């Protein structure tokens, strides 16, 4: 049983894999070695390409616990195989007998997690990983991650740091002291060097890997074959082409490695100070850091070499490398549950939930703040490839393959060509045997037919279009790191947009404020910077409740905070390092109004003069800051006005959240209505609150108090109204996309009503459209999950129903009665919480909501990725356009992700736009469509080229002849390569059209087009071949033949004098060869013109000047040598003399061929889509894409869309078959 075992590693994660154990088998190895020798090394190549076959051919199954080799298979749709060798790590050098050294070491089986309970570790000890008494641990490495054998779970598991299963309490109690040198050395052995090593492979290694590509091996086989048949010139041409192709490929691959290496190497080795157990500080290289080390963050900042959690002090960090936002973020120390007023000791530390306290690898610490005598310290939680930056680099180094129908169809097409080649192979052998040809010649000629059918120039031809498209994109400021995706972009039919910074301007402008007095709203005020308000609590809150800081004298921080602070015109002063060192406590940041704003100090009488001689200082010191948390949707500060005994607490955040934390009597009754009015108009609203703190709260108590103790029982002060303006080009771009039948979806972190309002403003939701808000509630108190449906009020009612653009969005008739033709489109809107509940409890509703979901608000980064996946599951080709801030995952997951940020975060995105505007989206789709159509044209042309040449050779083989070496060379180099590389140059059509290009090669119209051209070409070639034999002057050609005498041309003899002395071994010179050569040469050019499509996806052919010039030049040249022969050219091309009358006949055949080919291709283009299904008797066609099929179903569903104010409940869970949902609308 153990031998057949199959285990899963990384269960439930993106890189989940099945794992099988194998041991090397000597007898199998011997048989394989013999097979390699017998097959001339081909078997070795086959095993190199197929890891699964390699392992199964040389090994026998074994228990995973004791195996020598593991075979891994991904569990996703690609089912890719990998193999890895088991290695052994010896721990003999580190004695582990004494309990003291055991405690706090790596745990539950060596390092799957850092242990918290020392006695637990003593009990399990190292034995969980070790196989024998000599302390050996078995592991393997896959995709830069080490997997260690864990005896507890009887499986391999990867090494985790302090980021999983460690509570916040234990971080302070067990890990804050640092490691001893022994423990550090022991962990270093397991965790290895702390570096994200992107090794740039040597040119030789890359060369071997590139050359062993199946395609180049086939080319090598072709070249050897041609050389044995003395086709040296063509063999040399293919060798030169391959070398150029390999060199350019090596250059681009190596360039990408070097770029990635340089990006990663910025922080690879720096000197860092770490605290050891006895409080001594040791300086080590960052490469020696291990999880558990306590790192000292230097005063002047550093680039983080690892992920670490802050336990002392405050840091200001630039996280643009990870988030794409260059706004400095303030990081505070992790709350210590044992010191906090409300202890929550159970909470586990997690880098995501505690990201405001975590310093991530690759981010830049700009400044640190600290208590004197205490250093700013952080505990290392993850190192190397486990860090956030490491994971990003891994996703770039080992990307998921892109599954695109075009590439799958391309392989099918090649298989068809191989099948055709097989038929020719068998025919050649039989024909040659019947004609008693030598064995050597039979072998060469039959193999030659394979190299003709499967063209060695195909991949070079296919990539040409993509390379040209990449160059055109670069010209319009779009950079691409994954060229294969350009074709996929041609298929996009839905684009998701981030809102802030993408659809709207990056910054917010302060529109005004609306204060509250005596629980009533005052009228809105525009100017906040005035004497009346300078000492009000409202302005004090605006002045203190932010995370702004001065970096090199310039105020920087969150753009929203910046706008708010600039609006009041105050001055912010921070303590210098010297000042901080003088005082016994952290020096507060101080804010004060400019002098001109303070009330004039003119005393009424002389007796009061002395009082007023003292400067009228009004300053507020910020004592403690609780940074903004997206989970809590608020931030707060504790501040003190200079001279006041009591401190003040100020809070700002999402209005609903702030109102819920205020005393109900201070919140105006019409709060909800006022808020809704603003949000419907698209304003971003922030609420402010304040309360005086008790005088017993001292400075030091405030430093350790928990957030919850401050953020309650506040007085509601009013609203700040910010305006987020639409970018100028947004409405026009969205209109273009709608006209092209491309759906647009908004995914934002902003509030629902603001998002809906912006969607209406920019034309994503038309004025007459209904918006249905889906509010999903998770199961609670034994009740099942449910969705409440609300209809948002339309702001404007449409007065002209006929004016609606009926193609913009899917339609549904509201009434069954035919008299009422008012058509209404509807859109679903929901927030991140509802989206998560629907994903979990309403699986069957997800596809329906994806079909009409337009606004997704308050979405977390991982929810954005889940949304992209949900849309892809209903067969949409999804594009994503974001500013890189928190869209990395979504940008990577989408079929075409475009980052509008030029920062390093754009490494995650296949495309990056230089201009931060969404106008790049239609441009990319246009170029993608052009590249896709170019790929189809090239593929069809290459298929026809193969078949035409294959048929020419097959016809000539029947008379034991062939095409000459220079004839092949002329066709393959002068005609095919020139045509292929110029036909790909058509630029994209200037506007997006509603029609979409086909996604695969295997479509009715496309196959019909190819097959009809094949039949036409074969027909006209056969006509020429058989007709020439019927001519009165025809005879089996021999060196003394001279059919030209029939025309009386004297000059012909001279060109063929040499032939009498030269024997034609291969029987190339004959009338059939000459006829087939001329007709086929013209046929290549005819199909090139027929297949070169222009509108609606590419510019017309005549605008591609290189192509037009090449084709005209080739036509003239072939016509000239056909009608007015040149002796030297005839000699080189081995063309024989035929009468002038036959030349004219050939020209007529070619002209009729051209007319028929172009007419048929034009007819297929025009009527193929409508007539073919009818001709094939398909009748009503069921749409292939799930979303189209679903749309048809929903049109006749009376229960959809849900009625206003109704509820949908999930069916109660049934244990046997999971949660089967039944929709009940009540």
Q: Which residues are catalytic?
A: 498
Query: In whole angstroms, what is the distance from residue 619 CA to residue 378 CA?
Result: 33
Cβ pair 44, 95 in contact under 8 A? no
Residues in a beta bridge with 718: 515, 688
Q: Residue 580, Cα to own-chain centre: how many angstroms?
A: 46
Compute the distance between CA of residue 767 and CA of residue 793 in angstroms, rounded to an integer: 11
Q: Which residues contact 681 (CB under 8 A, 6 or more apart)?
A: 757
Q: How many other CB atoms are there within 10 angstroms of residue 78's CB atom?
A: 11
Q: Is 1138 helix (H, G, I), strand (E, B) or coil?
A: coil
Can you give 440-497 as a three-state secondary structure string?
HHHHHHHHHHHHHHCCCCHHHHHHHHHHHHHHHHHHCCEEECCCHHHHHHCCCCEEEE
Cα(200)–Cα(262) distance, integer angstroms: 10
Query: Are 55 and 21 in contact, with CB atoms under 8 Å apart?
Result: no
**Cα of 1189 vs its chain's centroid, Å:** 27
Question: Which residues, other chains included, contact 1226 with Cβ-Cβ below 8 Å and sequence gap of 6+?
Answer: 1206, 1207, 1209
Q: What is the DSSP letter of 793?
A: P
Which one-letter DSSP state was computed for residue 313? Answer: S
Structure token pair of residue 879 = 């594009």
Q: CA–CA separation, 1193 vs 189, rounded Å?
A: 60
The per-residue DSSP string of 512-546 comes to EEEEEETTEEPPPBS---STTTTTSHHHHHHHHSS
* Angle (nearest 5°) at CA 1146 between 1142 and 1147: 115
Give the Cβ contact number of residue 40 at 10 Å.
Answer: 9
Residue 1144, C-beta contacts closer than 8 angstroms, at least 6 positions apart = 1123
Distance of CA 1175 to the CA centre of its chain: 41
Q: Are strands 770-777 and 826-831 parallel, antiparallel or unpaired?
A: parallel
Order the strands of the 770-777 sheet from edge to edge. Answer: 478-480, 911-913, 896-899, 878-882, 494-497, 743-747, 853-857, 826-831, 770-777, 786-792, 1206-1209
The neighbour count for residue 30, using CB atoms within 10 Å, is: 11
Token couple for 168 = 């916040």
Residue of 590, 546, 588 lying closest to 566 (CA atoms):
546
Ramachandran angles phi, psi of 1038, nearest 5°? -145, 165
Rounded CA separation 231/226 (Å): 5
Distances (CA, A) of 897 to 865, 913, 1071: 12, 10, 58
Angstrom distances, CA of residue 374 to CA of 369, 545, 553: 10, 26, 25
| Alpha helix segments (H runs only) across 507-651 | 537-544, 559-568, 577-582, 609-613
Beta-carbon neighbour count of residue 469 at 10 Å? 29
Beta strand 812-813 pairing with 823-824 = antiparallel
Query: Which secondary-structure segment (H or E) carries 754?
Result: helix 752-761
Tokens standing for 1115? 């036509």
């Amino acid at each position: 049983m153990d031998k057949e075992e199959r285990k899963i590693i990384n269960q439930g994660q993106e890189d989940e894999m099945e794992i099988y154990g194998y041991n090397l088998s000597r007898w199998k190895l011997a048989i394989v070695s013999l097979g390699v020798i017998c097959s001339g090394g081909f078997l070795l190549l086959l095993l190199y390409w197929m890891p699964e076959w390699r392992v199964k051919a040389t090994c026998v199954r074994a228990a995973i616990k004791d195996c020598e080799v593991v075979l891994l298979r991904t569990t996703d749709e690609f089912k890719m195989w990998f193999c890895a060798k088991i290695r052994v790590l010896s721990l003999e050098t580190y004695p582990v007998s004494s309990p003291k050294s055991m405690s706090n070491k790596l745990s539950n089986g060596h390092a799957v997690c850092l242990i918290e309970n020392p006695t637990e570790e003593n009990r399990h000890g190292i034995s969980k990983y070790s196989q024998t008494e000599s302390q050996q641990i078995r592991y393997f490495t896959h995709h830069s991650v080490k997997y260690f054998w864990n005896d507890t779970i009887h499986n391999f598991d990867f090494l985790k740091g302090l980021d999983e299963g460690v509570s916040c309490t234990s971080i302070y109690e067990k890990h804050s002291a640092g490691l001893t040198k022994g423990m550090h050395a022991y962990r270093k052995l397991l965790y290895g060097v702390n570096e994200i090593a992107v090794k740039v492979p040597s040119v030789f290694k890359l060369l071997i890997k590139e050359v062993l590509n199946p395609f180049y091996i086939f080319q090598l086989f072709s070249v050897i074959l041609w050389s044995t048949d003395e086709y040296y010139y063509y063999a040399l041409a293919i060798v030169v082409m391959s070398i150029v192709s390999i060199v350019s490929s090596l250059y681009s691959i190596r360039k990408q490695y070097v770029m990635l290496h340089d990006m990663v190497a910025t922080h690879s080795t720096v000197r860092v100070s770490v605290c050891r157990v006895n409080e001594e500080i040791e300086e080590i290289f960052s490469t020696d850091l291990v999880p558990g080390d306590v790192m000292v963050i230097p005063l002047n900042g550093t680039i983080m070499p690892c992920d670490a959690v802050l336990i002392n002090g405050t840091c200001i960090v630039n996280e643009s490398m990870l988030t794409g936002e260059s706004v400095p973020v303030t990081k505070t120390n992790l709350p210590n549950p044992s010191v906090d007023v409300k202890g929550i000791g159970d909470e586990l530390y997690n880098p995501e939930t505690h990201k405001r306290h975590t310093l991530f690898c690759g981010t830049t610490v700009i400044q640190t703040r600290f208590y004197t005598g205490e250093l700013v310290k952080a505990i290392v939680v993850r190192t190397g490839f486990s860090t956030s930056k490491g994971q990003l680099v891994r996703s770039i180094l080992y990307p998921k393959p892109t599954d695109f129908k075009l590439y799958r169809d391309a392989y099918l097409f090649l298989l068809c060509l191989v099948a055709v080649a097989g038929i020719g192979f068998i025919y050649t052998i039989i024909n040659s045997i019947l004609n008693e040809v030598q064995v050597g010649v039979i072998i060469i000629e039959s193999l030659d037919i394979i190299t003709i059918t499967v063209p060695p120039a195909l991949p070079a031809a296919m990539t040409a279009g993509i390379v040209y498209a990449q160059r055109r994109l670069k010209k319009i400021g779009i950079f691409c790191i994954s060229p294969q995706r350009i074709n996929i972009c041609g298929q996009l039919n839905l684009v998701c947009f981030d809102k802030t910074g993408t659809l709207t301007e990056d910054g917010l402008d302060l529109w005004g404020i609306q204060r509250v007095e005596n629980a009533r709203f005052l009228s809105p005020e525009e100017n906040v910077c005035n004497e009346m308000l300078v000492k009000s609590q409202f302005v004090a809150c605006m002045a203190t409740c932010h995370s702004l800081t001065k970096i090199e004298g310039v105020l920087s921080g969150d753009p929203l905070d910046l706008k708010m602070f600039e609006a009041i015109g105050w001055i912010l002063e921070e303590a210098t390092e010297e000042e901080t060192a003088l005082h016994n406590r952290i020096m507060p940041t101080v804010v004060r109004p400019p002098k001109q704003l303070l009330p004039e100090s003119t005393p009424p009488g002389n007796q009061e003069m002395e009082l007023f001689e003292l400067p009228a200082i009004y300053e507020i010191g910020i004592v403690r800051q609780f940074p903004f948390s997206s989970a809590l949707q608020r931030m707060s500060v504790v501040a003190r006005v200079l001279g006041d005994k009591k401190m003040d607490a100020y809070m700002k955040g999402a209005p609903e959240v702030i109102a819920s934390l205020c005393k109900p009597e201070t919140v105006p009754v019409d709060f909800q209505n006022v808020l809704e009015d603003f949000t419907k108009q698209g304003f971003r609203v922030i609420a402010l609150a304040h309360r005086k703190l008790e005088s017993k709260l001292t400075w030091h108590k405030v430093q350790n108090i928990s957030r919850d103790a401050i953020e309650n029982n506040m007085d509601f002060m009013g609203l700040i109204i910010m305006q987020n303006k639409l970018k100028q080009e947004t409405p026009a771009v969205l209109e273009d996309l709608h006209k092209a039948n491309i759906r647009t979806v908004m995914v934002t972190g902003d509030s629902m009503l603001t998002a809906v309002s912006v969607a209406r403003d920019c034309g994503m939701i038309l004025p007459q459209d209904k918006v249905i808000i889906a509010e999903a509630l998770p199961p609670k108190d034994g009740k099942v999950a449910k969705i409440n449906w609300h209809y948002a009020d339309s702001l404007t009612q449409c007065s002209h129903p006929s004016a609606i653009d009926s193609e913009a969005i899917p339609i549904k008739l509201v009434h069954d009665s035919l008299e009422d033709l008012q058509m209404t489109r509807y859109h679903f809107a929901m927030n991140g919480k509802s989206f998560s509940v629907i994903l979990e409890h309403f699986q069957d509703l997800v596809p329906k909501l994806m079909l009409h979901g337009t606004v997704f608000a308050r979405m977390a980064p991982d929810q954005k990725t889940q949304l992209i996946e949900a849309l892809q599951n209903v067969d949409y080709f999804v594009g994503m356009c974001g500013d890189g801030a928190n869209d990395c995952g979504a940008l990577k997951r989408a079929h075409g992700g475009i980052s509008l940020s030029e920062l390093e975060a754009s490494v995650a995105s296949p495309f990056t736009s230089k201009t931060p505007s969404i106008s790049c989206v239609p441009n990319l789709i246009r170029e993608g469509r052009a590249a896709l159509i170019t790929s189809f044209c090239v593929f069809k042309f290459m298929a026809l080229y193969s078949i035409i040449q294959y048929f020419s050779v097959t016809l000539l083989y029947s008379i034991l002849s062939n095409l000459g070496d220079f004839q092949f060379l002329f066709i393959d180099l002068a005609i095919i390569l020139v045509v292929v590389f110029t036909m790909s140059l058509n630029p994209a059509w200037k506007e997006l059209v509603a029609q979409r290009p086909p996604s695969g090669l295997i479509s009715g119209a496309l196959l019909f087009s190819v097959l009809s051209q094949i039949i036409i070409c074969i027909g006209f070639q056969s006509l020429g071949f058989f007709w020439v034999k019927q001519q009165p002057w025809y005879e089996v050609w021999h060196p003394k033949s001279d059919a030209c005498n029939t025309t009386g041309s004297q000059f012909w003899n001279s060109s063929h004098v040499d032939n009498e002395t030269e024997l034609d071994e291969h029987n190339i010179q004959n009338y059939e060869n000459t006829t087939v050569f001329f007709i086929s040469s013209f046929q290549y050019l005819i199909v090139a013109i027929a297949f070169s499509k222009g509108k609606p996806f590419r510019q017309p052919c005549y605008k591609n000047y290189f192509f037009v010039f090449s084709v005209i030049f080739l036509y003239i040249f072939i016509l000239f040598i056909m009608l007015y022969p040149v002796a030297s050219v005839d000699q080189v091309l081995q063309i024989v003399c035929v009468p002038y009358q036959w030349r004219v006949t050939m020209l007529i055949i070619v002209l009729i061929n051209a007319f028929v080919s172009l007419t048929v291709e034009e007819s297929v283009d025009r009527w193929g889509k409508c007539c073919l299904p009818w001709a094939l008797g398909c009748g009503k066609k069921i749409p292939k894409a799930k979303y189209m099929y679903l749309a048809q179903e929903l049109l006749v569903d009376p229960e959809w869309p849900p009625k206003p104010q109704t509820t949908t409940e999930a069916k109660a869970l049934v244990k046997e078959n999971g949660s089967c949902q039944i929709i009940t609308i009540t």
